[in-house]
Amino acid sequence: MPANRPSLPLNIVIVGASGDLARQKIAPALFALFCQGLLPERCQIIGFARSDYTDDSFRARLAETLTCRYRPGRNCRQLTQDFLARCFYCRGDYDARDAFLDVYQIMRRLEDGAGGGNRLFYMAVPPQVFQDVAQAIGGAGLVHCQGPRWSRVIVEKPFGKDRASSDRLVRDLRTIFTEEQTYRIDHYLGKEVIQNLLILRFANAVFEPLWNRRHIERVEIVWHEDIGMEGRGGYFDHYGIIRDVMQNHLLQILALTAMERPAKLDHAGAIRAAKVRLLRAVAPVRAGGLRLGQYGAARTSGRRRPGYLDEAQVAAGSLTPTYAAVRLRLRNPRWRGVPFDLEAGKGLHDRLTEIRIHFRRRPAAAFRFQTQPLPGNVLVIRVQPDEGIYLRVNNKVPGLAMALAPTMLDLRYADAFPRRPIPSAYECLLWEALEGDRSLFISEAELAAAWDIFTPALHALDRRPRRPLPYVFGSAGPQADAGG
């Protein structure tokens, strides 16, 4: 265990601990930090939800998803037992102050006699109960307001449905937790390749001089999933692909890709300020500029895949889009005239998240033997799966004749760092929250700027819904089916 491991006691309270997010993402991430010696010796995890678990049954549920990938084959069983011994469960209603007083009784086991401790609250619950939970936590006196001990809260997206509802959520939470105590999580910001964007751009002299309208023709940011609702039909039908993916994940990727160099590259406030300036430079989206689609049933790999309207908990005749594409324009000197094309969809032919930087083409006259314009260079930053960075360059084809062909220079993370496990996004973000580093979390100003881009179009679609273009499950989306 590292000698510099934090010494103050730490209570981590997972509100909504009976859900899949806690079991599949949060608990495994905390276990990974535990295996690396990054949690304090005096640390306990308290699950809170309405489900009827005991400490033992809660531990058994968590154990199903824990893996010792940082210490394979070495003391794994003992590590798992040691971690689970630090996990406890408290049942109660989310708006019940008395239930959180029961949580406090569990906290006292760790904190009494130690001068108090730090507290991290993770709201793994729907946003409509954030305020109830916060009020109950505050009413139970569990939030440290000053002194050497800290209290922090992590909240999951979606942060509202538009600018106004987002602002209300911010104001409501601020009655209990200050902005400095609030960590709004977008798990894409914890992905290794997204974190590497700052390094790629500003630690390599070859890229930054070319990172502008003179050399870049267009930028694509794509997010594809090859699955349907997977039990999330009720949630998704309420929000849709724009609110679920495009307004948050893709705009955060856009901000890191296109922002100006921050005043300080290692300062959370400077990075977030640069992102805000970029987002405020994006022209608001008009409803007519959105291409919307909705997947229909298909038979793929010998299996029938239901259409969106056949999914459980989806309203009959729903017009909620499962696919959206939009072209954004940035109103600043660096990017004026360069289109940024965003695309997000479910039920597509692949699972992929990529940033594609298309550089301007060289003229055909560059070489006498070349009659067509040379293919443009493309820098591909693959976020998932198979994390990597690829650069398409023009090369001479081996042989006596003079001919060119585009080829790929590739850096696959798995090949470049074979002995370095890639941390999950939740590992990175939980560690940053424990460290008090808010660089990878969304500020109030970022949230407002991002909603300002899409709110006008979303309101227009709410007033006058339009039927999304159909596309077949497992296809490339509506543009392929429609011949576009």
Count Cα neighbours of 350 within 13 Å in the Cβ-side half-sphere.
9
Catalytic residue (one of 249, 349, 358, 459): 249
| Angstrom distance (rounded) from CA 341 to CA 326 | 6
Whether omega for the bond prior to residue 363 falls within 30 degrees of 0, making it cis, is no
Whether omega for the bond prior to residue 158 falls within 30 degrees of 0, making it cis, is yes
- What is the SS3 string spanning 82-135? HHHCCEEEEECCCCCHHHHHHHHHHHHHHHCCCCCCEEEEEECCCHHHHHHHHH
Assess contact for 220 and 341: CB atoms under 8 A.
yes
| Angstrom distance (rounded) from CA 347 to CA 325 | 15
Measured between its terminal Cα atoms, the distance across the chain in Å is: 57
| Angstrom distance (rounded) from CA 25 to CA 19 | 10
Identify whether 349 is a catalytic site residue: no
| Angstrom distance (rounded) from CA 186 to CA 68 | 25
The tokens of 305 are what?
Answer: 């895949």
| Angstrom distance (rounded) from CA 115 to CA 236 | 45
Name residue 388's amino acid. Answer: G
Which string of DSSP letters, residue by residue, matches 296-354? E-EEETTEEE--GGGSTTPPTT----SEEEEEEEB-STTTTT-EEEEEEESSBS--EEE
| Angstrom distance (rounded) from CA 216 to CA 339 | 10
Name residue 101's amino acid. Answer: L
User: Which residue from 326, 329, 364, 358 is spatially nearest to 342, judged by alpha carbons?
Assistant: 326
| Angstrom distance (rounded) from CA 39 to CA 231 | 33
Give ∠ CA 125-318-305 in degrees, rounded to 5. 85
Assess contact for 338 and 319: CB atoms under 8 A.
no
Which residues are marked as active site?
A: 249
